[in-house]
């Protein structure tokens, strides 16, 4: 069990590294929004694995908060991208 | 039971890693959205099931269920919002039939 959880953490760290690469490099704003969303999903998964490792549900509510923040952030940033498109069409 | 939970966690984490690799390696914003939207949803689902299996308490079960439902409901909505925004911004890069432009011109 401990080995499997360690493997899961390593895999999640790899995924977070990939998302971070896209967050810094991503050519457009939308790429960065995608990377940020994926990074927050990775954080959600990481907290759930950590809760399983500790076997205490103290930090389990954080998962809900992070998931909700990821959704709200994606929605707001999508509005931002769209509004910028309108302004550039007007200009 | 713990082995089942561990295998589910490794499976879900592998899916998240796969999504990360897809986001880095894919060409174009739509391909990146494709890999970033679908794989982590199943990954979160698998990890939540593993958590509910490993931590046997009602609170953990309910929270894991809430996380899964929240992810399944909000994931497609967020991706759709972003996809529409990207589409309106990068329309010239598309090829083929422009179905949204056709529907919007019909609606107005």
Residue B98 gets the label, from left (phi > 0), alpha (psi -120 to 50) or beta, of beta
pLDDT tens, A41-89?
999 999 999 998 888 888 888 999 999 999 999 989 888 888 876 665 5
DSSP state of A16: H
- Which chain A residues have a beta carbon less than 8 Å from that of B57? 57
Can you give the pTM of this predicted structure? 0.85
Q: Which residue in chain B is spatially nearest to A52 when comparing CA positions? A: B51
Across the interface, do A82 and B47 touch by the CB < 8 Å criterion? no
pLDDT tens for the 108 residues of chain B, in order = 788 889 999 999 999 999 999 988 888 888 888 888 888 899 999 999 999 988 888 888 998 899 999 999 998 998 888 888 888 776 655 566 666 777 777 766
User: CA-to-CA distance for B30 and B49, rounded, in angstroms?
Assistant: 29
Distance CA B15, CA A15 (A): 9
DSSP B93: G
* Contact at CB, B23 and A18, closer than 8 angstroms: yes
Whether residue A71 and residue B40 make contact (CB cut-off 8 A), yes or no, is no
Query: Do B82 and A34 meet the contact criterion of CB atoms below 8 Å apart?
Result: yes
Contact B78/A71 with Cβ under 8 angstroms? yes
Residue of A49, A63, A41 lying closest to B54 (CA atoms): A49
Task: Give residues with Cβ within 8 angstroms of B67, minimum separation 6.
Answer: A44, A48, A63, A64, A67, B44, B48
In this structure, are residues A64 and B66 in contact, taking their beta carbons and an 8 Å threshold?
Answer: yes
Sorted by where each begins, the domain ranges of chain B are: 2-107
Domain map of chain A by residue range? Answer: 2-90
- In the block, tokens 């914003």 appear at B29
Q: Cβ(A72)–Cβ(B77) under 8 Å?
A: no
CATH class of A2-90: mainly alpha
Q: What are the structure tokens assigned to B105, written together? A: 């011109």
Give the ipTM of the model, two decimals please: 0.85
* CB-defined contacts A:B, below 8 A: 177
- Any chain B CB within 8 A of the CB of A42? yes
């Amino acid at each position: 069990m401990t080995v499997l959880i360690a493997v899961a953490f390593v895999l999640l760290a790899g995924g977070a590294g990939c998302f971070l690469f896209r967050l810094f490099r991503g050519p457009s704003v939308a790429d960065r929004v995608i990377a940020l969303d994926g990074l927050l999903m990775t954080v959600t998964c990481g907290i759930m694995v950590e809760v399983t490792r500790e076997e205490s549900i103290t930090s389990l509510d954080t998962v809900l908060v992070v998931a909700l923040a990821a959704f709200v952030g994606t929605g707001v940033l999508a509005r931002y991208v769209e509004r910028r498109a309108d302004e550039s069409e007007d200009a | 039971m713990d082995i089942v939970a561990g295998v589910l966690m490794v499976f879900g984490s592998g899916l998240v890693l796969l999504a990360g690799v897809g986001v880095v390696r894919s060409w174009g914003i739509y391909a990146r959205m494709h890999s970033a939207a679908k794989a982590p949803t199943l990954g979160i689902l698998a990890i939540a099931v593993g958590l509910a299996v490993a931590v046997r308490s009602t609170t953990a079960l309910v929270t894991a269920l809430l996380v899964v439902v929240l992810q399944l409901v909000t994931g497609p909505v967020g991706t759709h919002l972003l996809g529409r925004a990207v589409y309106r911004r990068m329309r010239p890069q598309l090829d083929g039939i422009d179905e949204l432009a056709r529907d919007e011109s019909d609606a107005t």
